[in-house]
Amino acid sequence: MTANGDEPVRRQKKPWPEKRKGPVLLRRDQVETSTTDQRLLDTTGPSDWLHTDPWRVLRITSEFVEGFGALAELPTAISVFGSARTPVGSPEYEAGVEIGRALAEAGYAVITGGGPGAMEAANKGATEAGGLSVGLGIELPFEQGLNEYVDLGLNFRYFFVRKTMFVKYAQGFVVLPGGLGTLDELFEALTLVQTKKVTRFPVILFGSAYWGGLVEWLTSTLVAQGKANPADLELFHVTDDVTEVLKILDAARGPKGTPA
């Protein structure tokens, strides 16, 4: 009998196995037959745990930590995007070299995806001008590797971590002709600016012949059908002039080189 005279409550044994791991409740076939310590210390055991989501969280965290640590002391920087398929020596490649060189001479660090093509061109221009050339690579099924003109390079597993670094450590974007990856970076940046998730900074599309069709579609379809506001077309600039690129970027800088 209990102190109040009631019969003690007897817990009925459950007809299924049950186990708690912190806040997690496991039942039936979800219950593991080994302990966490056993799986850690048993070096001959399976390695599947290395590929589970909780472990991926640690990898993601480590990528953020490495990126923040490596890039925290960058000077004022500009991210330059463009196609990895841009041929060496083509007009688009030479434009990338000229832009990278001009940015470095103006005191900017140049950040690219670190790959070949337009990215290599911008890194090359920055390096040849004595500027800081940064490459943020990504693990892909087909190996690219960082181009030879990268002075400070990081390789990422996760696109979203890499994208954070492009935005966090740049005071502007220059977008050369590119493919789906370039478009992805472009529209994510425009969305972040439009929704005020980041402080507004200049986004420059270099190459009016290449970007003209996209701008026309945005105007005649997206805005015309009310899917975007006319003011959204002011979130980016289109130019073929490297001097104008610098003017737009400089106009967005504060008195000490910080975003205005």
In a domain, 31, yes or no: no
Q: Within a domain: residue 47? A: no
pLDDT cut 70: percent of the chain above it: 78
Nearest-Å Rg of the Cα atoms of the chain is 26
pLDDT in tens, 208-223: 999 999 999 999 999 9
Answer whether residue 151 is part of any domain.
Answer: yes
Q: How many domains does the chain have?
A: 1
Percentage of the chain lying above the pLDDT 90 cut: 66
User: DSSP string covering 15-58, please?
Assistant: SS-EEEETTEEEEGGGS-SS-HHHHHH-TTS--GGGGSHHHHHH
Residue 89 included in any domain:
yes
Is residue 49 assigned to a domain?
A: no
Does the pLDDT value for residue 11 go beyond 90?
no
256 confidence band (pLDDT: 50, 70, 90) = very low
| CB contact burial 172-191 (16+ within 10 A = b; e otherwise) | bbbbbbbeebbeebbeebbe
**What CATH number should be reported for the domain holding residue 174?**
3.40.50.450
pLDDT reading at 117 higher than 50: yes
Residue labelled with tokens 């745990």: 49
Lowest mean per-residue pLDDT among 3-12, 14-23, 111-120, 239-248: 3-12
- What pLDDT score does 31 carry? 73
Query: Distance between CA atoms of 109 and 143, rounded to whole angstroms?
Result: 26
Q: Helix or strand or coil: residue 212?
A: helix
Per 3-state DSSP, the chain is made up of helix, strand and coil in percentages (nearest 5) of 45, 15, 40
pLDDT digits (tens, 9 = 90+) for 169-199: 999 999 999 999 999 999 999 999 999 998 8
Structural domain span for residue 92: 57-253
Residue range 54-74, pLDDT digits in tens: 788 888 899 999 999 999 999
Render pLDDT for 130-142 as a digit per residue (tens, 0 to 9).
Answer: 999 999 998 877 6
Residue 153 lies in a domain: yes
Instruction: Kindly tell me if the per-residue pLDDT of 161 is higher than 80.
Output: yes
Task: Tell me how far CA of residue 201 lies from CA of 112, 131, 198, 242, 249, in angstroms.
Answer: 17, 22, 8, 18, 8
- Mean pLDDT within 23-40: 62
Whether residue 29 is contained in a domain is answered as no
Q: Give the chain's mean pLDDT.
A: 86
In this predicted structure, the answer to whether residue 259 has a pLDDT above a threshold of 70 is no
* Other beta carbons within 10 Å of 71: 19
pLDDT tier, 25 (very low <50, low <70, confident <90, very high otherwise): low
Q: Give the whole-angstrom CA distance, residue 249 versus residue 66.
A: 28
Q: Residue 253: its pLDDT value, please? A: 79
Token output for 186: 């472009």
What pLDDT is recorded for position 89?
95
Q: Is residue 109 part of a domain?
A: yes
24-27 and 18-21 strand pairing = antiparallel
